[in-house]
Amino acid sequence: MQAKFRLNGHIHRTPLVHSQTFSRMTGTELYMKLENMQRTGAFKVRGAMNKIATLTSAERAAGVVTASAGNHAQGVALAAAQLGIPSIVVMPSGAPEAKIVATEGYGSKVILHGTSYDDAYEEALRLSRSNGATLVHAFNDPYVIAGQGTVGLELLDDLPNVDAILVPVGGGGLISGIALAAKTVRPDIRIIGVQPTNASSGHDSWRSRSIVRVENPTSVADGLLVKRPGDLTLPMMLKYVDDFVLVSEEEIAEAMVMLLERAKVLAEGAGAVCLAAVMNRSLGLEKRNVALVLSGGNVDLLRWAHTLSPKTVHHA
């Protein structure tokens, strides 16, 4: 895959680690792909770098613009900075402060607009049309999808006999890229998407086989708050994804605490949904080699503390 060579030297090859504790608790052989240890703290830099690296000289001079709840923002900001390209990032007004500060720290101009990713996207699209900057979509772009697919290539290199891969789903770019890469090499691998119950547009669209909008997605997994999957990603999910499950807010919070206490892994809500799924759903994965994609670790600790109930902490 060209994306793999394009990203060489620009991103970290993140570790795939086996957890004896979670394996015992789930009855599987459980591995975690730690994209929380990626540059910028999330997988998003892969797709952003792959897209921006393909721009012409004229396009680079005009700069790039994107919309993001945070992780894609940082990925675009870092990729643009490395290549000397000006960048603008539009974020919804509720984006975590830590992600805003980090994005500005990489050199991007941050604009807060609207209350959701989709509101921010409309503003980014307007800016792109008005100033000629290239719009770097968070998920609905073939180069972005290909960049995210390198997660799957690395995972297969490290665990060739993996039986199932669980992937967090927002707009669908990560799971589309991983599923395409993995099933090209091993068509028998089971790909399972995971979303929050209160932000279920990908799940609902996959189930109904057509775009379904969720107008007010809410979740501690802020990186997954997308009203609808992409026009490119939904057909890929329909072709390559084998199952799709939903997890509750309490389950996500419990998984975040368990990862921190049992594995010493700091994962944001979007990164913890897959552990929540394998802990709380009957997925038929017993005695199988199961890989979870922990997509990011950019946690707003003050905000996170308010999501934890005594029951959650005690349970973990």
Q: Give me the residue label for tokens 């389950």.
A: 251
Predicted confidence at residue 60, as pLDDT, reads 96
| Longest CA pairwise span in the chain (Å) | 56
Contact 288, 163 (CB under 8 A): yes
Predicted confidence at residue 1, as pLDDT, reads 66
Predicted confidence at residue 304, as pLDDT, reads 66
Predicted confidence at residue 70, as pLDDT, reads 77
What share of the chain in percent tops pLDDT 70? Answer: 95
- 93 as an active site residue: the answer is no
Mean pLDDT of the residues in the chain: 93
Predicted confidence at residue 155, as pLDDT, reads 98
Residue 296 has which token pair? 């990011």
- 51 as an active site residue: the answer is no
Predicted confidence at residue 314, as pLDDT, reads 46
> Is 156 a residue whose pLDDT tops 90?
yes
The single-letter code of the amino acid at 261 is E
Of these residues, 33, 44, 99, 227, which one is catalytic?
44
| Torsion angle (degrees, nearest 10) of CA 260, 261, 263, 264 | 60
What's the rounded Cα separation, in Å, for the pair 148 and 157? Answer: 15
Residue 23: CB atoms within 10 Å: 16
> Is 313 a residue whose pLDDT tops 70?
no
Q: For 256-262, what is the mean pLDDT? A: 96
Q: For 265-284, what is the mean pLDDT? A: 95
What's the rounded Cα separation, in Å, for the pair 154 and 17? Answer: 12
pLDDT in tens, 36-79: 999 999 999 999 999 999 999 999 999 999 998 778 999 999 99
Burial of 307 (0-12, 13-18, 19+ CB in 10 A): middle
What's the rounded Cα separation, in Å, for the pair 287 and 2? Answer: 35
pLDDT in tens, 177-197: 999 999 999 999 999 999 999
The answer to whether the pTM exceeds 0.95 is no
Angle CA(181)–CA(175)–CA(302) in degrees, nearest 5?
Answer: 135
The region of weakest confidence among 112-121, 232-241, 264-273, 276-285 is 112-121
User: For the chain, percent helix, then strand, then coil, each to nearest 5?
Assistant: 50, 15, 35
Contact 164, 189 (CB under 8 A): yes
Range with top average pLDDT, 66-80, 109-123, 170-184? 170-184
Contact 144, 173 (CB under 8 A): yes
> Is 307 a residue whose pLDDT tops 50?
yes
Of these residues, 19, 68, 219, 295, which one is catalytic?
295
What are the backbone dihedrals phi and psi of residue 12, each rounded to the nearest 5 degrees, phi first?
A: -85, 145
